[in-house]
Chain A
């Protein structure tokens, strides 16, 4: 096996790190935080068919769609000639665990080594993997990233709601852009203003609440599923836009839920398998911290009153217990049934479960749990949609339309 290029200290100054397009709202904030720490980053937005083609060329075709797209997007960007291969690095998130997703970074490296051996791949992870890289997330940065997730979730939630009902097209986007900039500036300049959470949350909520809404009744459609396909418009064929064009309100659970699900995994496993370690104890402390932050945001949202607050994570955990053990921790694991149940309970009865074609954990946690969730919530209307380089939009939209026809009955 060829050795891959390492990300070294001096590259921090010389290299631009490319970031795949998954959750634009959040990732823009992350980039500002890394900017303050001296890293130059750029969020990729290329989404033409050639992204898929590059993916097909560079990844085993049976590998899952997110891997294919992320790698395809990088290779497409590099092939465009816009980036100097001697001054570019690639960033990929790495969660670890029994899902084959933990192999993305290796598949990416294989593709990179073949085409651009000099380009290093850096891993964004919180599990201490890849110790030999000069790319490091310090505890202080980690904390900032956590706040960025909270802010990003709030922006995304308010924006999705307002966008579906806004009277003057573009109003919601205006508010989003404004806050994206304000928060981006705060993080980029290293200011501590991001800690003034209550004030900032309130101001964001008030700004969005001021957007003039039509007040009509729309079908609310929850989107759950594999993390990348669920959020990335590139992967899900712009699902949120499609739902809005169909006269629906998309309801997308927050990223924080996934973060907390990952954090809970380690100490849950410790309990289930009698395997308490330092890291499981540390994880519990981290989890408690994040949970307190989530509660704070929920509290402000409740007080402000214009928007439905995020799902309380302990509530999600108790919902999960009705359907599946929290020992199911590969992929999105027990989080998917928990989110489906939480959506159904909060009145979002129509749910699209997005998944890469042939996703292994989703056999169990998505398609496998639909029946049980429907039994408990007879009016839940759940459809699983597969995404894949060959799956056509027509096919996907026709199935979503069937779900909407059910919803309108």
Chain B
């Protein structure tokens, strides 16, 4: 006899779940399956399974899930939003839960049940979830389950940016390349997911009481569960992991179906409905990459011309040179003969263990090579340069840009432009007068690179070569936009939903990568800007679809050497040959056969930065230390004497707190070490000291300070300097200040020479956001009046009003005058110190870098010690504000209306007049205003023949990319 049931179908971003419930809400059937993006097929398969067991029965049906919406619409089946479905399920199964955390493939959700029901999802820029864990596992060359096992044996947690996969990757990669333990990295990945959920979703609401954990990743991954329980401080009774977790949402969906008065179907009818569901046809498509086989053949022939000669490593006799490129995700080796012929080549994924992989390859070379081959030189480049050089005693370490240029010039001596798309980086350099003129690298948020296609191909069940081949003859390549990978993921999801084929998606991805490179990284306005002779390289260009997309987008042919993926290594080999002294110090066969190392972690106690160190011991007392930001940690006691205004300015601000305090303070005022205070502290400190208050500062910035305030951050896309402010406020509250003083200011100081003198909206009004989102703040303990420092009478009036409870009206005018004087003398002191530094640097023959950002970029948690990196390269550092007054604003193409940004233009103008100076712009991720300033500063510098270097910084504590740029800059300056 036919029964009546309810069926819930949950189509997530990576899995399909089906649940059947009876009238009493019992789950009588459930199934969980990965769909590999074949949504309709997987649903149909599952229906077939159900049909076998329930051929006659009738079902009310509902679909849920992020990828289910399109299917539901086109099949005409009711849809319920997945968070709501989870809510219904929780109400039924676990009515006493206080909060629910659900992690899915690409979404993270949180439901608060008690004290006002609230359902939340991650925003569009927060991919750190199930797919993120998969991606990280791929990066380590293991499965998610293995990652889980490793994590259980962790000894320590590294801070990993938790905002999105791309960021986390750039934190993890250097750890891997420096040899950090995989166990620790695995646990850190889970911790990053937890932090993301807590900060991104809870946003000020604390997760307490009984917490229910749902979704596949939380069900299958023990380490992730532990990380959540530990972070939220839950005990066993309050952390609930239901056994139905993976299908919980499908269960809620079936409850929704039961409640609704929707139609009833047999499974056969339902399958028909789904099969006949029509995809909508409003996807946007482009032209095919090749219209005919002939066109493709011509293309292949044309590129064949750029190949090298080969020699057999077993028969060749003579000199040879070894080049190694220890890239972020791949390892490349080339051994060349005296005539530049290839004796040996290797390209593979480093699987997170670059040193082992390369040692293995060198062993192979030793075992295969003719005994009469004499290796006369070796060089290494790439992220793993230092480690490999130390481990295998390689002769030279060179910066990647130099290696690539050397290789490109070998194929095309008149090369104008080189673009290299690797696993994780896009590097472009413009060549003028046979030297590198400008360098463009992708930012942390535009990494549409090779590893992205690879991860994607794997998610769709293809290997990379097969996948890219598919795109060549796609009829309608999908337009997927040109944003960061997280966005591309959802674009692909949408295209699939709309019925695009794998071929179309493959071609679309190729073109996205290219558009990303041209318009976002190079920022070209026309192909002509790239010049006539363009060499493309990097493993990603071995992909014909990517190469073709590039030629099509530019409308001209380019040169792709056949060893496109090995160009860095080839450049190294050429360099080794050039610099050869006749003998290479590279590790010999015997030592290599006995080669082994151990790695451990430690904390440097050299200064307050407490850098996390990785110590790799190669035996015989040889160590390699990484993770240090200055020389102290590396065990070299050499003191860095290169003058550095960042340090001076920072300590001038910090030391104010220790200066004279009133003997009998009338109260304690807290001032946060954040945003505008990094410039105005002398003003406020003097003011309050004069008024008889004891002044306390918040603790110096650190990751811990960030965590302290993380739960009160309402907007996860605001810049890191602003996010840190939350922690500083907490720090002051913990220190017991009577009140915190933090004024709002639409206007900054008017320094003239500009159209206006605003603050950016975030600096101007952040106190409003702080008080609205931190429940510990109120109008008594958080005084945040509006004032304009340019108008003394306004400052006096506003202070009188906002400090009226202290009865100090009469003291204010005099204190304000002293405060102005203190600020003025601080500015003069900084300018004088800059002059001194410049003089000293010139005496010592050093180049000088104007590290140009905002006042708060002197915060070491914000700049991550970039200034120390610069001084370690022997260059002196001054700040933008210390030299801005030395020049006038040049003619600009934009409105020059923010005080801090206006200094950038003047500082850049000044730099153009000084032969031994270069400017590096520090840009905080998410600073929309620097979208305006960056192009202008670049134009000012480049018009006068200076180099433009931009370093984008965020919470990422990874100086790898910065180091490449800085070393490239040094290399370019030497020419």
State whether these chains interact: yes
A residues in contact with B746, CB < 8 Å? 98, 269, 273, 327, 329-330
A residues in contact with B760, CB < 8 Å? 98, 360
Q: Quick one: CB contact mask for A55-99 with B, threshold 8 Å, 1 for yes?
A: 011101111100000000000000000000000000000000111
Residues 98-145 (chain B) with a chain A CB within 8 angstroms: 116-119, 121, 123-125
Q: Quick one: CB contact mask for A397-409 with B, threshold 8 Å, 1 for yes?
A: 1110110111001
Q: Please, which residue of chain B has its CB at the minimum distance from the CB of A394? A: B494
User: Measured between C-beta atoms, what is the minimum distance from A348 to chain B in Å?
Assistant: 19
- If the complex has contacts A1-B893, A394-B493, are A360 and B929 also in contact, measured as CB distance less than 8 A? yes
Q: What is the CA–CA distance of A20 and B939 in the complex, to the nearest angstrom?
A: 29
Q: Does B931 contact A100, Cβ atoms closer than 8 Å?
A: yes
Q: Does B81 contact A398, Cβ atoms closer than 8 Å?
A: yes
Q: Does B931 contact A63, Cβ atoms closer than 8 Å?
A: yes
Q: What is the CA–CA distance of A174 and B786 in the complex, to the nearest angstrom?
A: 49
Q: Please, which residue of chain A has its CB at the minimum distance from the CB of B895? A: A103
Q: Please, which residue of chain B has its CB at the minimum distance from the CB of A273? A: B788
B residues in contact with A395, CB < 8 Å? 124, 490
Q: Does A394 contact B929, Cβ atoms closer than 8 Å?
A: no
Please tell me if A131 contacts chain B, counting CB pairs below 8 Å.
Answer: no
Total A-B residue pairs with C-beta atoms closer than 8 Å?
219
Please tell me if A215 contacts chain B, counting CB pairs below 8 Å.
Answer: no
Please tell me if A389 contacts chain B, counting CB pairs below 8 Å.
Answer: yes
Please tell me if B222 contacts chain A, counting CB pairs below 8 Å.
Answer: no
Please tell me if B769 contacts chain A, counting CB pairs below 8 Å.
Answer: yes
Q: What is the CA–CA distance of A405 and B761 in the complex, to the nearest angstrom?
A: 34
Please tell me if B846 contacts chain A, counting CB pairs below 8 Å.
Answer: no
Q: What is the CA–CA distance of A85 and B769 in the complex, to the nearest angstrom?
A: 46
- If the complex has contacts A100-B928, A361-B761, A393-B494, are A61 and B791 also in contact, measured as CB distance less than 8 A? no
Q: What is the CA–CA distance of A2 and B718 in the complex, to the nearest angstrom?
A: 34
- If the complex has contacts A329-B746, A388-B124, A402-B84, are A98 and B772 also in contact, measured as CB distance less than 8 A? no
Q: Quick one: CB contact mask for B314-339 with A, threshold 8 Å, 1 for yes?
A: 00000000000000000000000000
**Interface-forming stretch among B162-170, B343-351, B477-485, B804-812?**
B477-485
- If the complex has contacts A99-B761, A360-B762, A386-B125, are A273 and B484 also in contact, measured as CB distance less than 8 A? no
Q: Does B893 contact A274, Cβ atoms closer than 8 Å?
A: no
User: Measured between C-beta atoms, what is the minimum distance from B283 to chain A in Å?
Assistant: 10
User: Measured between C-beta atoms, what is the minimum distance from A132 to chain B in Å?
Assistant: 15
Please tell me if A200 contacts chain B, counting CB pairs below 8 Å.
Answer: no
Query: For A52, A273, A372, A409, which residue has the most chain B Cβ atoms within 10 angstroms?
Result: A273
Q: Does B786 contact A60, Cβ atoms closer than 8 Å?
A: no
Please tell me if B765 contacts chain A, counting CB pairs below 8 Å.
Answer: yes
User: Measured between C-beta atoms, what is the minimum distance from A68 to chain B in Å?
Assistant: 10
Q: What is the CA–CA distance of A109 and B895 in the complex, to the nearest angstrom?
A: 12
Q: Does A364 contact B768, Cβ atoms closer than 8 Å?
A: yes
Residues 158-208 (chain A) with a chain B CB within 8 angstroms: none
Q: What is the CA–CA distance of A269 and B758 in the complex, to the nearest angstrom?
A: 13
Q: Does A114 contact B525, Cβ atoms closer than 8 Å?
A: yes
Q: What is the CA–CA distance of A357 and B893 in the complex, to the nearest angstrom?
A: 24
Contact of B525 among A48, A58, A327, A409 (CB under 8 A): A58
Contact of A388 among B119, B487, B793, B893 (CB under 8 A): B487
Q: What is the CA–CA distance of A333 and B436 in the complex, to the nearest angstrom?
A: 45
Residues 892-939 (chain B) with a chain A CB within 8 angstroms: 892-895, 897-898, 926, 928-932, 934-935, 939
Q: What is the CA–CA distance of A240 and B494 in the complex, to the nearest angstrom?
A: 21
Q: Does B81 contact A330, Cβ atoms closer than 8 Å?
A: no
Q: Does B482 contact A391, Cβ atoms closer than 8 Å?
A: no
Q: Does A273 contact B794, Cβ atoms closer than 8 Å?
A: yes
Residues 756-783 (chain B) with a chain A CB within 8 angstroms: 756, 758-762, 764-766, 768-769, 772-773
A residues in contact with B484, CB < 8 Å? 390
Please tell me if A227 contacts chain B, counting CB pairs below 8 Å.
Answer: no
Please tell me if A102 contacts chain B, counting CB pairs below 8 Å.
Answer: yes
Residues 108-155 (chain A) with a chain B CB within 8 angstroms: 109-110, 114
Please tell me if B488 contacts chain A, counting CB pairs below 8 Å.
Answer: yes
Q: Please, which residue of chain B has its CB at the minimum distance from the CB of A275? A: B791
User: Measured between C-beta atoms, what is the minimum distance from B898 to chain A in Å?
Assistant: 7
Please tell me if A331 contacts chain B, counting CB pairs below 8 Å.
Answer: yes
Please tell me if B567 contacts chain A, counting CB pairs below 8 Å.
Answer: no
Q: Does B769 contact A404, Cβ atoms closer than 8 Å?
A: no
Q: Please, which residue of chain A has its CB at the minimum distance from the CB of B793? A: A274
Please tell me if B620 contacts chain A, counting CB pairs below 8 Å.
Answer: no
- If the complex has contacts A102-B895, A275-B794, A390-B487, are A62 and B787 also in contact, measured as CB distance less than 8 A? no
- If the complex has contacts A378-B116, A390-B483, are A405 and B83 also in contact, measured as CB distance less than 8 A? yes
Q: What is the CA–CA distance of A323 and B773 in the complex, to the nearest angstrom?
A: 11
Q: Does A57 contact B519, Cβ atoms closer than 8 Å?
A: yes
User: Measured between C-beta atoms, what is the minimum distance from A278 to chain B in Å?
Assistant: 17
B residues in contact with A393, CB < 8 Å? 494
Q: Does A63 contact B744, Cβ atoms closer than 8 Å?
A: no
Please tell me if B747 contacts chain A, counting CB pairs below 8 Å.
Answer: yes
Please tell me if A368 contacts chain B, counting CB pairs below 8 Å.
Answer: yes
Please tell me if B714 contacts chain A, counting CB pairs below 8 Å.
Answer: yes
User: Measured between C-beta atoms, what is the minimum distance from A354 to chain B in Å?
Assistant: 13
B residues in contact with A114, CB < 8 Å? 525-526
Please tell me if A44 contacts chain B, counting CB pairs below 8 Å.
Answer: no
Please tell me if A324 contacts chain B, counting CB pairs below 8 Å.
Answer: yes
Contact of A64 among B121, B793, B891, B928 (CB under 8 A): B928
Contact of A331 among B488, B714, B761 (CB under 8 A): B761
Query: For B118, B793, B928, which residue has the most chain A Cβ atoms within 10 angstroms?
Result: B928
B residues in contact with A374, CB < 8 Å? 116
Q: Does B932 contact A60, Cβ atoms closer than 8 Å?
A: yes
Query: For A49, A99, A109, A405, which residue has the most chain B Cβ atoms within 10 angstroms?
Result: A405
Q: Please, which residue of chain A has its CB at the minimum distance from the CB of B756? A: A98
Q: Does A392 contact B493, Cβ atoms closer than 8 Å?
A: yes
- If the complex has contacts A63-B928, A106-B895, A364-B762, are A394 and B718 also in contact, measured as CB distance less than 8 A? no
Q: What is the CA–CA distance of A323 and B769 in the complex, to the nearest angstrom?
A: 10
Please tell me if B633 contacts chain A, counting CB pairs below 8 Å.
Answer: no
- If the complex has contacts A1-B892, A275-B788, are A98 and B481 also in contact, measured as CB distance less than 8 A? no
- If the complex has contacts A100-B931, A325-B744, A363-B762, are A392 and B788 also in contact, measured as CB distance less than 8 A? no
Q: Does B758 contact A62, Cβ atoms closer than 8 Å?
A: no
Please tell me if A317 contacts chain B, counting CB pairs below 8 Å.
Answer: no
Q: Does B928 contact A359, Cβ atoms closer than 8 Å?
A: yes
Please tell me if B69 contacts chain A, counting CB pairs below 8 Å.
Answer: yes
A residues in contact with B722, CB < 8 Å? 363
Q: Does B772 contact A371, Cβ atoms closer than 8 Å?
A: yes
Q: Please, which residue of chain A has its CB at the minimum distance from the CB of B766? A: A364
Please tell me if A107 contacts chain B, counting CB pairs below 8 Å.
Answer: yes
B residues in contact with A365, CB < 8 Å? 765
- If the complex has contacts A114-B525, A274-B794, A361-B761, are A390 and B772 also in contact, measured as CB distance less than 8 A? no
Q: What is the CA–CA distance of A388 and B894 in the complex, to the nearest angstrom?
A: 23
Please tell me if A370 contacts chain B, counting CB pairs below 8 Å.
Answer: yes
A residues in contact with B791, CB < 8 Å? 273-275
Please tell me if B340 contacts chain A, counting CB pairs below 8 Å.
Answer: no
Please tell me if B266 contacts chain A, counting CB pairs below 8 Å.
Answer: no
Please tell me if A255 contacts chain B, counting CB pairs below 8 Å.
Answer: no
Contact of B66 among A58, A272, A275, A398 (CB under 8 A): A398
**A/B interface sample: 20 pairs, CB < 8 A:** A56-B520, A64-B928, A98-B746, A98-B897, A103-B895, A273-B787, A274-B794, A323-B772, A328-B764, A363-B715, A364-B765, A372-B773, A390-B481, A390-B491, A391-B487, A396-B124, A401-B69, A402-B81, A402-B84, A406-B119
List B residues at the A interface (Cβ < 8 Å).
66, 69-70, 79-81, 83-84, 116-119, 121, 123-125, 203-204, 284, 446, 479, 481-484, 487-488, 490-491, 493-494, 497, 515, 519-520, 523, 525-526, 714-715, 717-718, 722, 744, 746-747, 756, 758-762, 764-766, 768-769, 772-773, 786-788, 791, 793-794, 797, 891-895, 897-898, 926, 928-932, 934-935, 939
Q: A61-B483, A98-B756, A389-B483 are in contact. List 15 more A-B contacts (CB 8 A).
A: A49-B284, A52-B481, A63-B931, A98-B759, A100-B932, A106-B894, A109-B893, A361-B765, A364-B762, A369-B768, A384-B123, A388-B487, A391-B124, A392-B493, A399-B121
- Going nearest first, the 9 A-B pairs with the smallest beta carbon separation are A390-B483, A390-B487, A62-B931, A405-B84, A98-B758, A368-B769, A274-B794, A367-B715, A273-B788
